[in-house]
Amino acid sequence: MDDMQSSRPEPDQSGVTQPSRSSKHRERGSKSPRRRREAKRPPRRGETACRPPPPPPGQRDEHAAHTGTATETETETAEDGCPKRRAHFLHGPCPATHFGPKACILPNPTSVMHIQDPASQRLTWNDPPSNVLVIRKIRDESLLEPFKELCRFLVEEKQMMVYVERRVVEEGSLSDDQLFGSICNQLCTFREGFDDISDCIDLIICLGGDGTLLYASSLFQGSVPPVMAFHLGSLGFLTPFKFESYKTEVTKVFEGNAAITLRSRLKVKVVKAALQEQPLREGEGEEHNGFLPLPLLPAHGPPCGEAGKVTLQLQVLNEVVVDRGPSSYLSNVDLYLDGRLITSVQGDGVIVSTPTGSTAYAAAAGASMIHPNVPAIMVTPICPHSLSFRPIVVPAGVELMVRHLRTSIKITTSCYPVPSICCHDLVYDWFESLAQCLHWNVRKRQAGLAHPSDSSDTEN
């Protein structure tokens, strides 16, 4: 987005933006408050806070056009000449908010806070689905019969084009089944990493545990089709459907009669600094925690722009973990937020997770559990060396960067979430998973106190 600059009134000590006042108004400072309130005057230009003009329609964020969420970004120039990106909160108040006298929000449609009703997130098909991807947990003999039943139902009764992995079809116990041979010949197969099916799939059905849904997310690095996950694994926190009623549930989904949860993902970019032949300065060649640090990055501040080589770029659903690996020493990584150094993490590592990942590794590290519909990013230290280092939650629109030696990992919220289909609704399913899978706040009921007449202390 093009750079936008605007002149804003300076805030006073209370933090409220004061409008600019003319000299004529300052000369009337001796007028009583009652007369000032009773005096009717037309609104002046300085009564509202200045704001930058809205961007052209063609330059709006792709995520806003895809999900209907209002997002705007501003680009400023820092003192060192590096561009600094500032992102607004995805689901917070509209940035173009008008303030009137006494800092009150003017009553116009663009100034109200947009809070989406969770019940309004429903699955809607523009066209009836025709291509279905079925993902099955491999090397699990207990899933062969459910897989056969589902494929037979989709091909024969629903007339769907079913896609499966080639290694699933080539599995010995499935390829030797002659009764399933006619259905197997109608399946479309693909190989992970070789065949691109991102533009072919309308719906994903997972048979297994949470790992099948995570694997489905990794197959689609762009837009992800709706995912329907059946609980046939061990934990099943992300798989709310029971396979016993699969025909009824799948039919409801084909008709568009289902709630949906947009599980946000993280866009991860790993950047390695270019090797430079520089003379060692004093102290740079000394051993620190068993390692010889390389003087490849600037001594202060993050690298400017996209300096270096992007070695990896991924869309992840759960979390990004930077740990000390096999080393027995503390890891020391720097954490940046929108280009500014926030803190240095000294410990076993750091976890940057989505709300979906807050119930995974981050929960084991002591973090809070966040509902997947909350737009946020959680930062959790792993066994920090400081007891005051608690997990924090930052808005989903910021850009985090974890830097260690000559490697920088840039993390921000992806504009391609994972649409996860709910069994009941997105609130009930989540709390049901907390109770059934994680046994959240599950304990034996506290016994009540005995009646005073039954107590031996009151007999006398």
pLDDT (tens digit per residue) in 4-38: 444 444 444 444 444 444 444 444 444 444 444 44
Residue 210 in domain: yes
Determine the pLDDT at residue 141.
84
Q: Which of 2, 199, 210, 348 is catalytic?
A: 210
Residue 317 in domain: yes
Buried b or exposed e, range 25-40, using 16+ CB within 10 angstroms: eeeeeeeeeeeeeeee
Question: Which one has a higher pLDDT value, 119 or 434?
Answer: 434
Based on the domain organization, do 308 and 255 belong to the same domain? no
Based on the domain organization, do 255 and 305 belong to the same domain? no
Based on the domain organization, do 232 and 257 belong to the same domain? yes
Range of the domain at 338: 266-274+300-416
Based on the domain organization, do 405 and 309 belong to the same domain? yes
Based on the domain organization, do 304 and 391 belong to the same domain? yes
Based on the domain organization, do 270 and 395 belong to the same domain? yes
Average pLDDT, the chain: 76
Residue 52 has pLDDT above 70, yes or no: no
Tokens (6 digits) for 176? 């030797």
Based on the domain organization, do 403 and 270 belong to the same domain? yes
Most confident segment among 18-32, 166-180, 256-270, 290-304: 256-270
Residue 291 in domain: no
Give the whole-angstrom CA distance, residue 217 versus residue 240.
Answer: 17
Based on the domain organization, do 250 and 315 belong to the same domain? no
Residue 375 in domain: yes
Residue 65 in domain: no
Based on the domain organization, do 219 and 321 belong to the same domain? no
pLDDT classification of 153: cutoffs 50, 70, 90 = very high
Based on the domain organization, do 363 and 238 belong to the same domain? no
* Residue 444 identity (one-letter amino acid): K
Based on the domain organization, do 270 and 385 belong to the same domain? yes
Tokens (6 digits) for 16? 């409220």
Residue 223 in domain: yes
Q: Which of 70-84, 142-156, 238-252, 328-342 has the lowest mean pLDDT?
A: 70-84
Rg of the Cα atoms in the chain: 28
Based on the domain organization, do 332 and 223 belong to the same domain? no
Q: What is the CATH number of the domain that holds 349?
A: 2.60.200.30
Contacts 24+ apart (CB under 8 A), 302-308: 302/336, 302/339, 302/341, 302/401, 302/403, 302/408, 303/271, 303/273, 303/408, 304/80, 304/81, 304/82, 305/82, 305/83, 306/271, 307/271, 307/273, 307/274, 308/271, 308/272, 308/273, 308/274, 308/406, 308/408
pLDDT digits (tens, 9 = 90+) for 90-113: 444 455 566 666 666 566 555 556
How much is the average pLDDT of 46-56?
44
Is 334 known to be catalytic?
Answer: no
Residue 319 in domain: yes
Give the whole-angstrom CA distance, residue 251 versus residue 228.
Answer: 12
When divided into structural domains, the chain yields a total of 2
Model pTM greater than 0.85?
no
Q: What is the CATH number of the domain that holds 193?
A: 3.40.50.10330
Determine the pLDDT at residue 44.
44
Percent of the chain past pLDDT 70, that is, above it, reads 65
Which among 372, 335, 327, 340 is positioned nearest to 351, based on CA atoms?
A: 335
Residue 288 in domain: no
Determine the pLDDT at residue 130.
92
Determine the pLDDT at residue 91.
47
Contact 417, 264 (CB under 8 A): yes
pLDDT digits (tens, 9 = 90+) for 320-373: 999 988 888 888 999 999 999 999 999 999 999 999 999 999 999 999 999 999
